[in-house]
């Protein structure tokens, strides 16, 4: 099993450009999450999904959109990138709904917006 | 809303010395608590978690943490540090809200292990 994979690993954008980050998991997990990690701020939840076709806002959703058309994939989109979106983005998934359920993380995508 | 505070953004220990990374939480309902480790240029990996079964939780790589409700703490310890323990450690809290297990992370502690 590959676990949670993220594409691409690195990306540089110019302000105003758009892009989509892809997260895929092969563990048949129902729940998927997108986080951003910034120095000194830990990880913050952007959007999450509790199942195929459903998405919800997290702590810092502004400037991002998501889609979960297939159970195994969770896409994060930036329609018009801004320098404030320079960050490392992590996708995670979990099998159970319970708050005690472990989340499995991907290796991250390092995004720079110039 | 729940929150996590990690005291000390950088901790340095000698190889073989005790590792103590501090985590305090705030939650109005019984929390679930996690410690994750992040090695350079990698994703996060679960070290251990507290889910109300036992207050002393043992994890991977010799780490353990003790849940102390009276102190609202969940400090991470390891008796003897190894060079391979150098990484960033995150404490996180989650509560049952009916909307999935959304984690709230602390700001992280970078552990340096010196010879």
The CA distances from residue A30 to A26, A39, B7, B48, in Å, are 11, 30, 34, 22
In this complex, how many residue pairs, one in chain A and one in chain B, have their CB atoms less than 8 Å apart?
Answer: 67
Whose CA is closest to A106, among A33, A31, A19, A54?
Answer: A33
Whether B9 sits inside 8 A of A105 (CB atoms) is no
Longest CA pairwise span in chain A (Å): 40
Q: Is the pLDDT of residue B112 over 80?
A: yes
Task: Inform me whether the C-beta atom of residue B59 falls under 8 Å from chain A C-beta atoms.
Answer: no
pLDDT tens for residues B24-36? Answer: 999 888 889 999 9
Token couple for B1:
């809303």
**CB proximity under 8 Å: A 75-104 to B:** 90, 92, 94, 96-103
Q: Is the peptide bond between B62 and the residue preceding it cis, with omega within 30 degrees of 0?
A: no
pLDDT of residue B99: 62
**Is the model's pLDDT at B70 over the cut of 90?**
yes
Chain A residues with CB-CB distance to B97 below 8 A = 99
Mean of the per-residue pLDDT values of chain B = 92
* CB-CB under 8 Å, B49 with A108: no
3-state SS assignment for residue A60 = coil
Do B43 and A56 lie within an 8 Å CB cutoff?
no
Burial of B79 (0-12, 13-18, 19+ CB in 10 A): exposed
Choose the mutation target among B3, B43, B97, B99 for the interface with A, i.e. most A CBs under 10 Å.
B43
> Is-contact A100 B49, C-beta < 8 A?
yes
Q: Give the tokens for residue A39.
A: 């120095």
Closest residue on chain B to A49 (Cα): B100
A10 at the B interface (CB within 8 A)? no
Q: Mean pLDDT, to the nearest integer, of A14-35? A: 96
Return the residue of B nearest to A101 by Cα. B101
Contact B101 A97 (CB under 8 A): yes
Nearest to B94 by CA among B51, B57, B63: B51
Per the CB < 8 Å rule, is B43 touching A102? no
Question: DSSP of chain B, one letter per residue?
Answer: --EEE-S-SEEEEETTSPEEE--EEE-SS--EEEEEEE-TTS-EEEEEEE-SS-SEEE-GGG-EEEEETTTTEEEEEESS--GGG-EEEEEEEE---SS----EE---EEEEEE-
Residues A36-87 have pLDDT tens digits of 999 888 899 999 999 999 999 999 999 999 999 999 999 999 999 999 999 9
Q: What percent of chain B has pLDDT over 70?
A: 96
**In whole angstroms, what is the distance from residue A52 CA to residue A41 CA?**
30
Q: In the predicted model, is pLDDT for residue B64 greater than 70?
A: yes
pLDDT at B97 over 70: no
């Amino acid at each position: 099993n590959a676990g949670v994979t993220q594409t691409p690993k690195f990306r540089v954008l110019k302000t105003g450009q758009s892009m989509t980050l892809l997260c895929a998991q092969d563990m048949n997990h129902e729940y998927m999450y997108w986080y951003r990690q910034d120095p000194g701020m830990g990880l913050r939840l952007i959007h999450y999904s509790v199942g195929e076709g459903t998405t919800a806002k997290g702590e810092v959703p502004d400037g991002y959109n998501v889609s979960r058309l297939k159970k195994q994939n969770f896409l994060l989109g930036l329609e018009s990138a801004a320098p404030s979106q320079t960050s490392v983005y992590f996708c995670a998934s979990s099998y159970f709904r319970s708050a005690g359920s472990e989340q499995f993380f991907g290796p991250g995508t390092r995004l720079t917006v110039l | 809303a729940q929150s996590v505070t990690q005291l000390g953004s950088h901790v340095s220990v000698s190889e073989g010395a005790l590792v103590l990374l501090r985590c305090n939480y705030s939650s109005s309902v019984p929390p679930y608590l996690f410690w994750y480790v992040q090695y350079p240029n990698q994703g996060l990996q679960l070290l251990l978690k507290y889910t109300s079964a036992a207050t002393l939780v043992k994890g991977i790589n010799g780490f353990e943490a003790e849940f102390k409700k009276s102190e609202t703490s969940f400090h991470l310890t390891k008796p003897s540090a190894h060079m391979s323990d150098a990484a960033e450690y995150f404490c996180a809290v989650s509560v049952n809200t009916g909307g999935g297990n959304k984690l709230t992370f602390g700001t992280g502690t970078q552990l340096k292990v010196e010879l």
